[in-house]
Every structure is written in C-alpha cells, then in structure tokens.
Amino acid sequence: MIVAVASGKGGTGKTTVAASLTKVWAGPVQAVDMDVEEPNLHLFLKPELTGRETARLPVPLADQAKCTACRACAEICQFKAITVLAGYVMTFPDMCHGCGGCTAVCPEGAITEDYRELGEVLWGRSGEIDFLMGRLRIGEAMSPPLMRAVWQRVDRIGDVIVDAPPGVSCPAIAAVWPADVILLVSEPTPFGFHDLKLARAAFAPLDKPMGVVVNRAGLGDEALYEYCRETDLPILLEIPFDRRIAEAYAQGLVIAEARPEYRQGFLDLAGRVRDLAGRVRDLAAAPLLEARHA
C-alpha cells in the first residue's frame, strides 16, 4: 500500500504526520520524501544514507555543422528550448522538458542528447525504516522529472509512506498519483480550510480514497469541520494545538515518540488509513468527530 501525506497549504504538519505514521507503522515500511524542493523528512527520521545517484534529464545537443537551419526542431519544441536564429541553431537546456521531439524530428541527425542535472536521489535506513528522498538542484525549476526518478527507486516490498510537497499543481500531483490513499493534513484556520478544498479538488480526478488529519485542532474556527461533515470527508485524526508539540518539532523530534500521549492517536490513524485503503467506509473516525462537536 502507498499512503501519500499531502496538504495544499504548506506548514500544516505533513512531515510531522509522515514521520510519526512511519514510526508507528506495523510491518516493513519505506518512508519517501517527495517534497524534493524542500525535503525535511530526513531531519526527523535521521536516516543513515547509504546510497545516492544524480538524476538527469536529456536535453538537446545540436551539431552546427550538420544543421541546415530548417527550423523543424524550433517548430516542434513547445518549451522554447531550441530555436534557429540567423541560420544558427541555439539551445536553452534549462527550458527543456526532455521530450526528445527535436532529436526525433531533425532530418539531418544533427541533434543528439546531452543531460541536465535535476538533483539527487538519496536512500538509506533509519532503524527498521527504509528511507528514500529526492533533493532538487538549486536553480532547477522542474521538480516532477526528479520525482519520477525517485518513484523509480521506490521498492514495493512493504508499505510506502510518501511526504508530498505542498500546493495543488503538478509537483503535488506527481507525488500522489501512484498512491492508494491520500491523507490531507490541514489546520482549522481560514487558510488551512481554503487550501484543503483546493487539494481535494485537485486530487479528486485521481479517484482515490482521501481522509483528513486536522492539526492544531482548537485553533481557528469550525468551518473545516462543518465542510468535512457535510461532504463526507472523514477526519482520521485530530492533533490538538499544543505549544509543546511545536517545541518538540522545533527540536527535530518525532511527536509519536517525544510525546507518548499522542502515540496512540497515530496508531489509530494507521488503522484508519488501512481501512480507508480497503475502501471500507471509515466509521471509526465518526465518534471522534462527534465527541468534540457534540
């Protein structure tokens, strides 16, 4: 099973939830940090990294001697990565998406492929937990191609818990599309609620079961709870607004370990996630919600 921990709004506690869920997960599990722009999971799981590889994207390398300036490459490229100016072919490798169109279309065989470095894929272990992450090169604009390289290293021996990037556009989609279940971590504030709705709308076409983790419960207002109740979006766990949690996080601690009173909550969450992945209607979460809002 693959569980994606996503959010919409940044800073709602994705990494906190992913780290704690991994620590309490029963059976073999791989923790994967797909937030390749700003990966943080390693700061909490503190893995011993044992391997790395550089992820690359093919980009065009043009041979001026063979080029007849026919412009076929410039016409097929949708990303302004290759053009012909005053009879000279020019490439802009930073713009290239690596589709191979220019190489395939060139009638003279004048375009071969070079590579652009996207970043690194790193892996290792944190105790019993298998660990994998991507780290985008500073200055690289495109994270989805690096995320694809990370996905290739995901082993499906056990279960997989993915820490997704924030937002609801292409990087977030690239992190959740292979998942069996999506956890949406939010907070009951106007920003958290608004971005939760965006995230749900973005992931809905993927047709996967989704559940909510409400972090910093007690802060903000009731709008998020009303929305979840009215639209049948199950709340799988509430983590209270507690300065001690924020302080434990600030020390780089995993909440399920540092604050034992919250460990049971994450164990319950793991059970509810398994139920949800089996597309069993989550009834277990209902009493929790009602108890707080009775």
Partner 1 sequence: MPEITIISGKGGTGKTSLTAAFAHLAQNHVICDLDVDAPDLHLLLDPEHEKAEEFYSGHTAVIDRELCTNCGQCLELCRFTAIAQGPEGPTVDPIACEGCKVCVHFCPAQAINWLEDHCGRWYISRTRFGPMVHAQLFPGEENSGKLVALLRERARAITQEGNLDLILSDGAPGLGCPVISSLSGTDLAVIVTEPTPSGVHDLDRVADLCAHFRIPAGVLINKWDLNADQSQAIERLCLKKGLNLVGKLPFDPAFTQAMVQRMVITEFQSEGLADEVKAVWRRIQDLAGLRAAA
- CA-wise closest residue to 206 among 179, 224, 239: 179
In the complex, minimum distance from the CB of residue 91 to partner 1, in angstroms, rounded to a whole number: 16
Residue 60 touching partner 1 (CB under 8 A): no
DSSP string, 141-199: ---HHHHHHHHHH---SSEEEEE--SBSSHHHHHHHTT-SEEEEEE-SSHHHHHHHHHH
Which of 6-14, 85-93, 226-234, 266-274 is the region at the interface with partner 1 (rule: CB under 8 A)? 6-14
Of 37, 130, 159, 275, the one binding partner 1 (CB under 8 A) is 37
The DSSP bridge pattern shows strands 159-163 and 29-33 to be parallel
At residue 128, the 3 state secondary structure works out as coil
**From 93, 100, 240, 271, residue interacting with partner 1 (rule: CB under 8 A):** 100
Q: Which of 246, 280, 283, 286 binds partner 1 (CB under 8 A)?
A: 246
Nearer to partner 1, 69 or 223 (CB): 223
If the CB atoms of residues 77 and 160 are measured against partner 1, the closer one turns out to be 77
Q: Is 108 in the site for partner 1 (CB under 8 A)?
A: no
State whether the Cα torsion 264-266-269-270 is positive or negative: negative
40 binds partner 1 (CB under 8 A): yes
Alpha helices in 212-262 (DSSP H): 223-230, 243-250, 255-258
Please state, in angstroms and as integers, the Cα–Cα distance from residue 85 to each residue in 109, 231, 271, following that order: 19, 55, 61
**Footprint on residues 129-158 left by partner 1 (CB under 8 A):** 136, 138-143
Asked if 234 interacts with partner 1 (CB under 8 A), we say no
Strands 111-126 and 129-136: antiparallel
Please identify which residue in 124, 134, 167, 234 interacts with partner 1, judged by CB under 8 A: 167
CB contact set of 222 (below 8 Å; sequence gap of 6+) = 188, 293
Beta carbon of residue 160, minimum distance to partner 1 (angstroms, whole number): 19
* Least distance in angstroms from the C-beta of 166 to partner 1: 5
Residue type, 86: A
Tell me: does residue 80 bind partner 1 (CB under 8 A): no
Rule CB under 8 A: choose which of 1, 69, 202, 258 binds partner 1: 202
Any contact of residue 33 with partner 1 (CB under 8 A)? no
**Judged by CB, which is closer to partner 1: 27, or 139?**
139
Given the complex with partner 1, which of 51 and 190 has the nearer CB atom? 190
Q: Which of 243, 260, 291, 294 binds partner 1 (CB under 8 A)?
A: 243
Total of chain residues touching partner 1, rule CB under 8 A: 62
Nearest residue to 15 (alpha-carbon basis) of 40, 46, 32, 49: 40
Nearer to partner 1, 31 or 142 (CB): 142
Could you give the CA distance from residue 14 to residue 262 in angstroms, rounded to a whole number?
Answer: 16
Q: Give the whole-angstrom CA distance, residue 160 versus residue 146.
A: 18
The answer to whether the Cα torsion of 261, 180, 231, 285 is positive or negative is negative
Residue 201 token pair: 């709308």
Binding residues for partner 1, rule: CB under 8 A, are 7-12, 15, 35, 37-38, 40, 43-44, 76, 78-79, 97-101, 104-105, 136, 138-143, 165-171, 173, 177, 189-191, 194-195, 198-199, 201-203, 205-206, 219-221, 241, 243, 246-247, 249-252
